[in-house]
Structure 1
Amino acid sequence: MHEIVASTSTARPPDWAVKQRDLFDAMATAVDRFVADYLDADGEPLWPPDGHVGVDGFDDVVEGFYNWPLLYAMGGDERVLSHARDAYEGALRRGSRTPTPFGHAMVVDEFEQCRDWFHMGEGNLYTYNMGLAAPDDEAVVERAERFANLYTASAEVNNFDDDRKLVRGPMSGSMGPDYCDFSAYEHHPYGADYRWARHGLPWRDLEFEEAADLLDPENEERLFEVLNERCAKGDIPLNLNVTSLMTNAYLHTGDDRYSEWVVDYLEAWRERTRENDGIIPDNVGRSGEIGEYTDGSWYGGYYGWSWGGWHYIGIGPTVAAENAVLLEGDREYLEFPRSQLDTLIEQGIEVSEDDVHDTLYIPHKYGGEGDYHYDASGVLTEDDGEVLWRDGWYEFQPHEDDPYAVHLWYASMDQEDRDRVRDLRDWGKRDWKQVDMRASSKHGAGSEYAWLAYLDGEFPDYPERILDANRAHMQERLDLMRDEGNEPTTTDEDYLRDRNPVFHRGLLQLTMGAPQPVYYGGLVMAQVRYFDPGRERPGLPTGVAALVSRVDDDGIDLTLVNTGGQDQELVVQAGAYGEHEFTKIRYDGEETRPGANGVTVSVPSGARITLSADLDRFVNDPTYALPWT
């Protein structure tokens, strides 16, 4: 492996470097406190409580610590990984003791019994982050294969139809796809007013006149009946998230049957999209027929065009295309999500809202003619207040901070994809050269465009600002813990997630040049990753800070600073999984051509170095393997 030595000494480390290392340390200490106060004496979450019967919420529990392995993999303290393992094992134990209405547990064989891949995608982020953190852990590898094998043709639970290349239910899991009863999933504790009335009716052929009618308990039961008739079987775009489960198994094993599964399933959905005149259908029956349970309609499925709209529809095509590019190196797969996003933009309505600014309102949903009187703030409406419906498209709204558009550009590095992101940003009214100092949502949303402004040279203070924000977010959680006496005042399924003190987005963007993974089931996609050969572990060595300040089609600029008192050596890998290759690196007036996916960099105490690296992307077989194995 080519060796590079930092020769520039710095009397005072830059502020971003000091703040970055401080954040690593502070979050590790915060995790210590969190574990001591919010898990029981056996290391188990306090939810579900004894006597609870249900099917929802296990993913929310795991979301309370899902990013701890990622923090460790970037350079966090080893005790963060230890805490993550213990919390996960405790959650599995509790989930395996919690009954469902179906006569088996919420968690069976360490995997959720039957759930949609919006929630399963969230819960399995922990699994994927453990691949980055502990690829040499036999339990991690074994689970990765076992979980993926639930969706192979040989699996007894029959989740997947290998002949038709379809997942056989909108909900699936370790007990198969047939435990889908919407009265069990939706009625308690939420009710139709939570999941459905606020979105309007998913269909227009029912006997209800308005969405508000769903608040009548009798109508609610009728809705669940229709849901079971139309949405309890067959394939939906969200199931494309299963490609991450398969890609995760491939990164551990290199077994081609997992990569072939990803490509075959993605191509099956592309064929359905071609059959549907270029728009991805949101429901496919078990026979492979589009609209088999919705009277031939390509919309009206679970998490489909007529309910959640693009926010949910865009997940699967984006995640699956990213995974296929990672595995195969062919960026043509990105045309799948690109075509869907372009269709929405083409249907947009430009509105002049002031003298200098026009806003493009882009539709997020599609549905049949009928009543569209419901609460949908921020969207275009008719003069009578009804939600604007045009040729089937509705909920026209600004398309701000679209993660799918960002991920499309990030995978392609295509200028047209980058210009699309700028257009989407500029059609909105927000000033993207600022960082929200409030605690972010569970998705860590709100800073992708600000980060891109930094990469474009428009927001030079972004590194310090995002680190300050993440530190403030962490402190808000610690203040909450102190204010409630270090004992949760509520113990619902979200109690861990709402107190998790780890905020990783700023560290991910700055150190690895990476966007937040698609939250509902995407893998980390990155420009670089680090390993500490001295301790034989992933992540930046103690005291070393990293900043990726350029990401474009040619490559990256990366600055490394040793803020500590000990000389350090690290391996810089091209790509999160070694999928890229360093073709040329310029530094300190020198130039080298490694022709490899990794280089060793020695950074003495108090030294800094900036590498300007050309990358050949997606040319190597991706793997979780540590560079010395």
Structure 2
Amino acid sequence: MREFEATAEATRPPTWAHKQRALFDLTADAVDRFVADYTGPDGEPFWPPDDHVGVDGFDDVVEGFYNWPLVYAMGGDERLLDHARRVYEAALERGAETETPFGHPMVVDEFEQCRDWFHLGEGNLYTYNMGLAAPDDEAVVDRAKKFAELYTADSEARNYDADERVVRGPMNGSMGPEFCDFSAYEHHPYGADYRWARHGLPWRDLEFDEAADLLDPANEERLFEVLNERCAKGDIPLNLNITSLMTNAYLHTGEERYREWVTDYLGAWRERTAENGGIIPDNVGRSGEIGEYTDGSWYGGYYGWSWGGWHYVGIGPTVAAENAVLLEGDREYLDFPRSQLDVLIENGIEVAEDDVHSTLHIPHKYGGEGDYHYDASGVLTEDDGEVLWRDGWYEFQPHTDDPYAVHLWYMSMRDEDRDRIRRLRDWGTQDWRRVDPRAKTKHGDGHEYAWLAYLDGEFPDYPDRILDATREHVDERLRLFDAEGNEPTTVDEDYLRDRNPAFHKALLQLTMGAPQPVYYGGLVMAQVRHFDARRERPGLPSGVAALVESVTSDGLELTLVNTGARREEVVVQAGAYGEHRFTAVETDGAERGVDDGADDSDSASDGEDNSADALRVRLPAGSRMSIRAGLDRFVDDPSYDHPWSETEP
């Protein structure tokens, strides 16, 4: 580990540095208030109520605090971690006391009983964030291993068939895949317009003649029968999110079997995609046969090409490829999600926005011929309003899922992947050099393009703007607390999530040079990660701010500023999990080769290896340091271990 001493004064620290530290402090104070007002004496959530019987909603509860460990791990107050532990334990207890229609609780052995990996992926973001925040916590490690074991070949849950490399149900969990009954979702709007007509059911080979039939209450029972017949067994692309659960266990333990699970299962889906002519099928039977329960059709599965579309199908290939690259260091795995994006681009339709710009409308769904008259805003239609259908593809619209294309470039650092993002730009929406003061969704997306414009040098004010917007998000929640009189006016499964005052996206982008993880189950992927060397804890030391100003295929540029009153030491790790290595480093304009020294275990005995996995930077009060570092990416074995772990006796 190479050591540096900051010598440049920061008598007037940049505004972004003050705003960043103020955001860390405000977030901790806001979470204090949130916990006091919106949970019980021991941190227990108010939902589910005591008499509740149901299947859905536990992930929504966890989403109300899932990112507190992440903010802590970036430099937030330790109170965030303490609150997260306490509320999570209380939520597990409440879930274990809540019955389902199946005769067992909603949460069994600390894991949801049987759910899909759209929702399990959301709920387990807390699990992964705790790995970053507290990898030495025995409960965190035990849960990581226990959860992963649910999907091994010899698990009593029987979620996974290793011979066929098939997850045996679209819904699975601690009780296995056999408790998937769609009619049991009594409070979930599966019969509403959104579920039937907007999502679309693979109904066109059945007795229904037009989309309106899906909204007829008289057909509801039959529609549930179709879902249970076609979508309650076998494998779907969303199950690729399980690779995050396995990668999480590997990052804790280093056990090879978890790595092998990821590459074996991903390999099975790539083989199925090749068998299907290059398009990932959305349903595979327990025998491994594509279309086993859909009369041989490769589309028509749960959260598949006809019921949900690319928004859901794209999650699994993106997340799994990222995990495989992290574990194996081979970026060839990215060809999998890249190929799926390219299929959509090849079938896209250019629509002129003005005299200069056109927006590519890519298809988001695939289905058979039939009547496509239904309410689908924002998509291309025929003159009579029918949704445009062309060679099976339909719902042509601008690419709305920023994470998929952005994450592909971020992991590959290839120019062609960056160009793909530009080609998918929606010229009919907001300027890329603008920050919306309000979060657009529950996971606060919508600023990926503005961040990329900043990295390209086109939006220099972005750090101040995004920090101002994030501060406004927190203030907005505090105003809501005041308006409600410090207690929730309504209590449902979303009440914590809709009031959570912690927002992490700006901090990820600015301090770690990282995009938001794919929300439905992805891991944090980052250029660098910071640690407080003096206190031996993750995150920036008190008073220290960080700004990643450039990310290229060669490396990055980073500025560290000590706004505080005492000397601090920062360890800057290459990658979120130590998976990268620094090659050459330039500090404040002076070029330095990185040489770990003869006594460092990272240094090669012949002196030829001049790379390092981390840098230790000493920052006197009121100082700053600018670092330009080359990066050799995905060359080291990833781990949650802190940088000083290897040198401890």
Moved more, 255-264 or 415-424: 415-424
Q: Equivalent residues in 2 for 1:309-324 (5 A)?
A: 309-324=309-324
Moved more, 181-190 or 480-489: 181-190
Moved more, 610-619 or 183-192: 183-192
Q: Equivalent residues in 2 for 1:70-469 (5 A)?
A: 70-185=70-185, 188=188, 191-400=191-400, 402-425=402-425, 427-469=427-469
Q: 1 CA distance for matches of 2:151 and 2:178?
A: 14
Shift of 1:609: 0.6
Shift of 1:426: 5.5
- What SS does the corresponding residue of 1:550 show, helix, strand or coil? strand
**Any conservation in 1 of the 2:571–2:615 contact (CA below 8 Å)?**
yes
Equivalent position to 1:605, from 612, 621, 636: 621
Residue 516 of structure 1 aligns with which residue? 516
Residue 548 of structure 1 aligns with which residue? 548
Measured against aligned partners, the alpha-carbon deviations of 1:513-567 in whole angstroms (never above 9, x if no partner) come to 0000000000000000011121111000000000001001000000000001011
Equivalent position to 2:632, from 611, 616, 620: 616
Q: 2 CA distance for matches of 1:177 and 1:200?
A: 24
Residue 626 of structure 1 aligns with which residue? 642
**Any conservation in 1 of the 2:236–2:302 contact (CA below 8 Å)?**
yes
Q: 2 CA distance for matches of 1:236 and 1:41?
A: 41
Moved more, 200-209 or 233-242: 200-209
Letter in 1 for 2:476: E
Measured against aligned partners, the alpha-carbon deviations of 1:380-439 in whole angstroms (never above 9, x if no partner) come to 101111000000000000114521000000000001001111121265543111011013
Q: 2 CA distance for matches of 1:360 and 1:549?
A: 30
**Any conservation in 1 of the 2:435–2:447 contact (CA below 8 Å)?**
yes
- What SS does the corresponding residue of 2:569 show, helix, strand or coil? strand
Shift of 1:154: 1.0
**Any conservation in 1 of the 2:359–2:424 contact (CA below 8 Å)?**
no
Letter in 2 for 1:459: F
Unpaired runs of 5+ residues, structure 2, are 595-610
Q: 1 CA distance for matches of 2:189 and 2:506?
A: 35
Letter in 2 for 1:129: N
Residue 570 of structure 1 aligns with which residue? 570
Shift of 1:185: 2.6
- What SS does the corresponding residue of 1:93 show, helix, strand or coil? helix
Q: 2 CA distance for matches of 1:460 and 1:186?
A: 50
- What SS does the corresponding residue of 2:628 show, helix, strand or coil? strand
Distance 1:428 1:420, change over 3 A: farther
Distance 1:440 1:386, change over 3 A: closer
Q: 2 CA distance for matches of 1:458 and 1:203?
A: 48
RMSD, aligned α-carbons: 1.1
Residue 531 of structure 1 aligns with which residue? 531
Residue 587 of structure 1 aligns with which residue? 587
Residue 506 of structure 2 aligns with which residue? 506
Shift of 1:357: 2.2
Letter in 1 for 2:623: A
Residue 597 of structure 2 aligns with which residue? none
**Any conservation in 1 of the 2:531–2:571 contact (CA below 8 Å)?**
yes
- What SS does the corresponding residue of 1:379 show, helix, strand or coil? coil
Q: 1 CA distance for matches of 2:46 and 2:374?
A: 37
Moved more, 119-128 or 418-427: 418-427
Shift of 1:587: 0.9
Letter in 2 for 1:38: Y
Distance 1:29 1:506, change over 3 A: same
Q: 1 CA distance for matches of 2:275 and 2:163?
A: 18
**Any conservation in 1 of the 2:210–2:370 contact (CA below 8 Å)?**
no
- What SS does the corresponding residue of 2:432 show, helix, strand or coil? coil
Residue 68 of structure 1 aligns with which residue? 68
Distance 1:169 1:325, change over 3 A: same
Q: 2 CA distance for matches of 1:440 and 1:6?
A: 39
**Any conservation in 2 of the 1:582–1:593 contact (CA below 8 Å)?**
no
Letter in 2 for 1:221: E
Letter in 2 for 1:473: H
- What SS does the corresponding residue of 2:542 show, helix, strand or coil? coil
Shift of 1:605: 0.6
Shift of 1:198: 2.3
Distance 1:214 1:280, change over 3 A: same
**Any conservation in 1 of the 2:353–2:428 contact (CA below 8 Å)?**
no
Q: Equivalent residues in 2 for 1:477-488 (5 A)?
A: 477-488=477-488
Measured against aligned partners, the alpha-carbon deviations of 1:217-273 in whole angstroms (never above 9, x if no partner) come to 221111000000000000000000000000000000000000000000000000000
Q: 2 CA distance for matches of 1:425 and 1:6?
A: 41
Residue 607 of structure 2 aligns with which residue? none
- What SS does the corresponding residue of 1:196 show, helix, strand or coil? helix
**Any conservation in 1 of the 2:196–2:215 contact (CA below 8 Å)?**
no
Shift of 1:200: 3.3
Shift of 1:11: 1.5
- What SS does the corresponding residue of 2:425 show, helix, strand or coil? helix
Letter in 2 for 1:600: R
Residue 604 of structure 2 aligns with which residue? none
Q: 2 CA distance for matches of 1:15 and 1:589?
A: 22
**Any conservation in 2 of the 1:561–1:606 contact (CA below 8 Å)?**
yes
**Any conservation in 1 of the 2:311–2:401 contact (CA below 8 Å)?**
no
Q: 1 CA distance for matches of 2:262 and 2:282?
A: 19
**Any conservation in 2 of the 1:549–1:557 contact (CA below 8 Å)?**
yes
Shift of 1:199: 2.6
Letter in 2 for 1:328: E
**Any conservation in 2 of the 1:181–1:228 contact (CA below 8 Å)?**
yes
Letter in 2 for 1:620: D
**Any conservation in 1 of the 2:200–2:308 contact (CA below 8 Å)?**
no
Unpaired runs of 5+ residues, structure 1, are none
Letter in 2 for 1:248: N
Shift of 1:211: 2.8
**Any conservation in 2 of the 1:17–1:546 contact (CA below 8 Å)?**
yes
Letter in 1 for 2:258: Y
- What SS does the corresponding residue of 1:359 show, helix, strand or coil? strand
Q: 2 CA distance for matches of 1:190 and 1:199?
A: 10
Distance 1:183 1:151, change over 3 A: same
Q: 2 CA distance for matches of 1:311 and 1:201?
A: 15
Measured against aligned partners, the alpha-carbon deviations of 1:467-494 in whole angstroms (never above 9, x if no partner) come to 0000000111111111010110111000
Residue 22 of structure 1 aligns with which residue? 22
Q: 2 CA distance for matches of 1:533 and 1:565?
A: 17
- What SS does the corresponding residue of 2:450 show, helix, strand or coil? helix
Q: 2 CA distance for matches of 1:164 and 1:415?
A: 37
Identity value in percent? 79
**Any conservation in 2 of the 1:112–1:173 contact (CA below 8 Å)?**
yes
Q: 2 CA distance for matches of 1:214 and 1:439?
A: 33
- What SS does the corresponding residue of 2:219 show, helix, strand or coil? helix
Letter in 1 for 2:636: N
Q: 2 CA distance for matches of 1:505 and 1:478?
A: 19
- What SS does the corresponding residue of 1:360 show, helix, strand or coil? strand
**Any conservation in 2 of the 1:203–1:367 contact (CA below 8 Å)?**
no
Letter in 1 for 2:354: D
Q: 2 CA distance for matches of 1:368 and 1:316?
A: 24
Letter in 2 for 1:26: L
- What SS does the corresponding residue of 1:320 show, helix, strand or coil? helix
**Any conservation in 1 of the 2:193–2:215 contact (CA below 8 Å)?**
yes
- What SS does the corresponding residue of 1:519 show, helix, strand or coil? coil
Letter in 2 for 1:564: G
